[in-house]
Structure 1
Amino acid sequence: MSRKEPQIWPGISRRTFIQKSSLVLTGLAVTGVPEISWAVHGDTLHVRNYQDLTSLDSVSSLSAAEGIISAAINQNLLRFKPDGTWDTQLDAAESFEQIDETHYAFRLKKGQLFSNGYGEMTADDVKFSFERMVDPAMNALNRPDMGPLSHVDVHDRYSGTFVLDTPYAAFIPVAVAGPSGEILSRKAVTAVGGRFTTEPPCSSGPYLFKSWQAQRKTVLVRNPQWTGRKPDFEEIHVYAMPDPKTAEMAFEAGELDCAWISVETVEPFKQNMPDNSSIRVLPSGRNYWLGMNQENPALTDIRVRQAIQYAVDVEAVVEAAWFGLAKVSNGPIPEGMVGHRDSALIPPKGDPEKARQLLSEAGVELPLRLRMDVNSDSLELTAVQVMEWSLRKVGIEVDIRPQDNSTFLTIGREDLGDQWRDVQLFMQSFTGLADPYYSLTWFTSAQLGIWNWERFSSEEFDRLSDQALATTDPAARSRMYRRMQDLMEESGCYRFITNSVMPQIYRNTIKPAFRADGYTMLREIRRPGSGS
């Protein structure tokens, strides 16, 4: 059934309102809407990012929002192809090969220069970039990306060998081609004290970092020293727009070239598409779930957590929040990837009667009042409101606490204080990558108080995580990863929701490029007819 274009005032469609109010939109920076240039034309590309930056340093970056930008200004030895797959191609490397299960050899292309006078990229810069990720003193948030990396041997100015302690099946897609594998200049990072945040000291990619305005935009410019294919745009303006509605208004007003939009507007856009524009609804590796802190006094009894699992109607959540565009999730590992489960242990529809029975067995006095933290994103707010409705039916009352993303990302971290002890329920989502390891590594015991906010700890899970990493047989890995997801669900700490989708709208004046999980690949965006 088609949906009519929504009217926000009698007789005035959303499209008309946007066009009439576009001048107002551009002047609202003081209220949190970024200032955007009036027209999208010429040599500047305008793109939405779903949140602002926290850090462009690989040891402290928090989200894919930062990876979208860092991938345009930095190089990896290998990078993902812009064809919607997780296949890789050479980037800074002239050659890259696996010697055996624990050794990988590389040779850099000659003449690749870091900006700001920091000279040519060398094998020592590769060594520095990877070894700082595993240095305990750095306390890198994304340390798990490196797996069992021991060190990097440098042979000469351009070549070296990665040495792993044990085999690591995800080494290439996660450690080498992923965001943590970006190559930084030893001289530059050392010169700024060994770390940086939102102002990188130099770049080597096709674009350079020019400026960053907090909560507004990041500006990238074409790198004049880049020896690869010349980028099609002189500048890229990346706007921090946490609210997809703001992005949709900006796109309709003619001020963005490409934007990730909300699922609820896909059908209205298709029914009344802006001129010369297209939409793609892309698969997403982003895993959404309801998490429960099992160390909070209200949730220490597994029967209470299981009651919450059975109470939540996942089908209703996905239908309401994703408008039928996404599928119900059977676990963090998405469909089509090694380790995907055909079904969850608890039916997605849930079982309210079973939930009431578990609460009764646990001796819970109803109503049980719990706090639920959530990112203040409209999609996630809709999802938790449906969860609240499901939970209320079994006698659980929920206090929903929306927070901006930067605040939300701190609530479960031990290094920032004792606030994690007050966490009870929360809706969380993590980005995936090209290997199932990346979907599950954040739930090991080593991640307690870092990304494992549920405080889930299982010796079997940890052991299987290590074994699956060291195993190259897909069938064996699949069995291990399926069992790991069973353990997560059996703990009562997780109610899996969806692996989501990512709708992207763009002008036909550009040739967009997206990763296999739907994220924009800025360096790969072209003008139609400009070649690959």
Structure 2
Amino acid sequence: MEWRTDRRGLLKAGGAAIATLALGPKMAWAAMGDTLRIRMAGDYQVIDPYGEIGELDDIIPRCTTVTLVRVGDMRDGNLLSNYAAEKIDWASPTSIAFTLRNNLTWTNGFGPVTTADVKYSFERIAGSDSAWAYQFEQLDHVEIVDDLNGILHLKEAYAPFMVTALPYYAGHIVCKKAVEAAGGSFTTKAPAECGPYLFDSWEQNQKVTLKANPDWKGEPVTFQTIEFFIVPDDQAALLAYEADSFDFTRIGVTGLRSIKNALPADTTLIEAPSTTYTWLTINQNAEPLKDLRVRQAIQYAYDSDAVLEGAYDGAVGRSAGVIQPTSRFARAKNIIDKRDVAKAKELLKEAGAEGLTLTLIALNDSQSQTVAQIIQASLGEAGITINIQSTDEAAYWSVGDKTAGDGYKSIELVLMSFAGGIEPTENLVWFLPDQIGVYNWSFFDSPEYADLYKKVQLETDDAKRKVMFNRMEDLMEESGDFVFICFEPYLAVHKSDLKPVILADGHPDPTRFTKV
């Protein structure tokens, strides 16, 4: 198929209109001083580690609470370092001993951070229905030695535990007394904080402000105030950045060529491989998609070249799964590696599904909409009519959520993108059977996949792990439930006198942003 790039020009013009609406009178225009201004694509929803959903949900607790350890910038090798833990090390193959720093204090009169808080934080999530329970799947219990010393006891030896469980998401420590007093959970306001910043204000869908914690005795922070501005569209955000409304923003790949050709003054471009993987979910539980042949027809009709050129400017190659192409564990290629429209039509005819009409749900940012439109055109060539349902981020994350009703059972196609991790199991966990109605929106349900997931966590031989990982991705593709699109490049611009820290999942760590 031929994809005309003039459609991108139309989207860019639309982005300008969005920018005008998004900025409004409440956007800050002051130059960077003691305030760090970061653009985010979506507002936060739940900052309780138990129920975190989006990017800002994880970034706020990173600023307002602590983790035992933390990882460094992805461009410097994701180095692990102590944070709330003054000391932490393996005491045995199945136990990790730690000592907390003695200068961490909760707000609202809840006293010092203790091992009781660590025990409560981790054990409330382990074995629960939290999406992050996988982080503590190997945790047996936390032993309290005294207020500052504890031991994490694992069920079995699992070497990646410190990296997969402790630095983020469920690894954020909450105050036992405060959370219990709040009823056992919280959503948009933490009952107690202990990090370098404190929550200050929230203008819904516009801006979140944090202020430096005057009682913080850890590593000093550079900025007294952090402002997160909510601008969903990448192109609108780039226009706003050029108008000096923030100091740091991610940008879409469609803006890469123009930004390279005309980099704004005093601006640095970050261009790096990322762990963010994008794919098309095909829900096998939806009535029109129950027949494997119909799902395979979509896989054959998908035009990878058109998507990569039209939506990503040819900046990335096609992915063969959810493990980064740069990883030693990556699968070499897809099973259905070449487009075959004739085969797609043949499968539809065999299944009696000619004239099929499906709904594709996609976020309403220009990048997602471009991908969706190209998918719409490519499947149309095989005789499949696609209606695109554009949605904002808050509504998007409810479409496959079983707690939001029965709608998750009948969604048909969804364009999805997840921020991945350092260890491949962090990317593969979302497609286990227990994630159906949580983040497994395709109803992919493979006992072999689940068995391999358990085995690969305990396997130490890299060659054997690669075979297992590749088989898991084969199973995903063979189910007809997935079309793997790409690993998106990490692209961002920032003021040149700013030194940001970017984590492996692509999230910034504002607590470690410094001035050059």
1:99: how far off? Answer: 2.5
The residue aligned with 1:351 is: 340
**Residue of structure 1 equivalent to 2:296:** 306
The one of 10, 14, 30 aligned to 1:39: 30
Deviations 1:322-381 (A, max 9, x none): 11222211100102335211111111x4211221121122222x2111111111121111
Deviation at 1:516, TM superposition (A): 3.1
The answer to whether the 8 Å contact 1:148/1:166 transfers is: yes
Query: CA distance change for structure 1 residues 7 and 160 in 2, over 3 Å: closer, same or farther?
Result: closer
Query: Match for residue 216 of structure 2?
Result: 226
Q: Per-residue deviation at 1:517?
A: 4.0
Q: Partners in 2 of 1:518 and 1:419 — Cα distance?
A: 30
Alignment correspondent of 1:377: 365
2:265 maps to 1:275: yes
1:315 to 305, 321, 325: 305
Q: Does 1:202 align with 2:205?
A: no
Q: Is 1:73 the equivalent of 2:61?
A: no
Question: What secondary structure is seen at the aligned counterpart in 2 of 1:267?
Answer: helix
Distance 1:430 1:424 in 2: 19
- In 1, the alpha carbon distance for the partners of 2:72 and 2:151 equals 24
- Residue of structure 1 equivalent to 2:84: 92
The whole-number CA distance in structure 1 between the counterparts of 2:356 and 2:405 is 27
> Which residue of structure 1 lines up, in the alignment, with residue 122 of structure 2?
130
Note the C-alpha offset of 1:7: 9.4
Structure 1 letter corresponding to 2:64 = I
**2:125 counterpart SS class:** helix
Q: Give the 3 Å change call, closer, same or farther, for CA 237–192 of structure 1 in structure 2.
A: same
Q: C-alpha separation between the residues in 2 aligned to 1:336 and 1:169?
A: 21
| Counterpart residue type for residue 58 of structure 1 | P
1:169, distance to aligned residue in structure 2 (A):
4.1
Residue number among 40, 45, 53 corresponding to 1:54 in the alignment: 45
CA deviation vs aligned residue, 1:209-257 (integer Å, no higher than 9, x gap): 1122210111111112222221111101011111123311221111110
Are residues 1:462 and 2:450 paired?
Answer: yes
Is structure 2 residue 63 aligned with structure 1 residue 63? no
Q: How many pairs are equivalent?
A: 508
Q: Using the TM superposition, give the Cα deviation of residue 512 of structure 1 relative to its aligned residue in structure 2, in angstroms.
A: 1.6
Give the equivalent residue in structure 1 for 2:179. Answer: 189
Indicate if the aligned counterparts of 2:127 and 2:136 stay in contact, CA closer than 8 A: no
Do the aligned residues in 2 keep the contact of 1:283 with 1:518 (CA within 8 Å)?
no
SS in 2 for 1:251: helix
Report if aligned partners of 1:369, 1:397 keep a CA contact under 8 Å in 2: yes
- The 3 A distance-change label for structure 1 pair 368 and 33 is farther
Q: 1:40-439, aligned counterparts within 5 Å?
A: 40-82=31-73, 84=75, 85-134=77-126, 136=128, 139-347=129-337, 349-364=338-353, 366-439=354-427
Question: Does the C-alpha gap of structure 1 residues 169 and 401 become closer, same or farther in structure 2, counting only changes over 3 Å?
Answer: farther
User: Structure 2: which amino acid aligns with 1:414?
Assistant: K
C-alpha offsets along residues 384-426 of structure 1, whole Å, 9 cap, x if unaligned?
1111111011111111111111111111222221112321111
Structure 1 residue 508 and structure 2 residue 499: aligned? Answer: no
Q: 2:500 aligns to what SS in structure 1?
A: coil
Q: Does the aligned pair in 2 maintain the 1:124–1:154 contact within 8 Å?
A: yes
Q: Once the 2 structures are TM-superposed, how far is the Cα of residue 145 of structure 1 from its aligned partner?
A: 2.0
Deviation at 1:63, TM superposition (A): 1.9
8 A contact 1:73–1:208 mirrored in 2: yes
Note the alpha carbon deviations across 1:454-493, whole angstroms, 9 max, x for none.
1111111000000011222222222111110000000110
Letter in 2 for 1:93: A
Closer, same or farther: CA 37–274 of 1 in aligned 2, 3 Å:
same
Quote the offset at 1:83 in angstroms: 5.3
SS at match of 2:502: coil
TM-score by length of 2: 0.94
Question: Is the Cα contact below 8 Å between 2:211 and 2:226 reproduced in 1?
Answer: yes
Give the Cα separation in 1 of the matches to 2:290 and 2:93.
42
Q: Is the 8 A contact 2:280 2:483 kept in 1?
A: yes
C-alpha contact (below 8 Å) 1:147/1:171 kept by paired residues: no
Contact 2:285-2:410 within 8 A present in 1 as well: no
Q: Deviations over 1:45-93 (max 9, x none)?
A: 1110111000111001102232122212221111011352222100000
Change (3 A) 1:517 1:448: closer
Offset at 1:152?
Answer: 0.6
Identity %: 34
Whether 1:486 and 2:477 are equivalent positions in the alignment is: no
TM-aligned CA distance change 1:517 to 1:194, over 3 Å: closer
The whole-number CA distance in structure 2 between the counterparts of 1:404 and 1:221 is 28
- 3-state SS in 2 of match to 1:133: coil
Instruction: Read off the aligned partner of 2:41 and give its amino acid letter.
Output: Y
Question: Aligned partner of 2:320: which letter?
Answer: N
1:454 partner SS? coil
C-alpha distance 135-343 of structure 1, shift in aligned 2 (>3 A): closer
**CA drift at 1:33:** 5.3
What value does the CA root-mean-square deviation take over the aligned residues?
2.3
Report the more deviating stretch, 330-339 or 231-240. 330-339
What one-letter code is carried by the residue in structure 2 that aligns with 1:407?
Answer: A
Q: Which moved more, 1:69-78 or 1:482-491?
A: 69-78
Q: Distance in 1 between matches of 2:218 and 2:325?
A: 35
- Contact 1:34/1:241 (<8 A) preserved: no
Q: From the superposition, tell whether residues 183 and 334 of structure 1 become closer, same or farther in structure 2 (CA, over 3 Å).
A: same
- Counterparts of 2:65 and 2:467 in 1: how far apart (Å)? 36
Are the equivalent residues in 2 in contact too, given 1:46–1:256 (CA < 8 A)?
A: yes
Deviates more, 1:239-248 or 1:393-402: 239-248
Counterpart residue number, 1:476: 464
Structure 1 unaligned spans of 5+: none
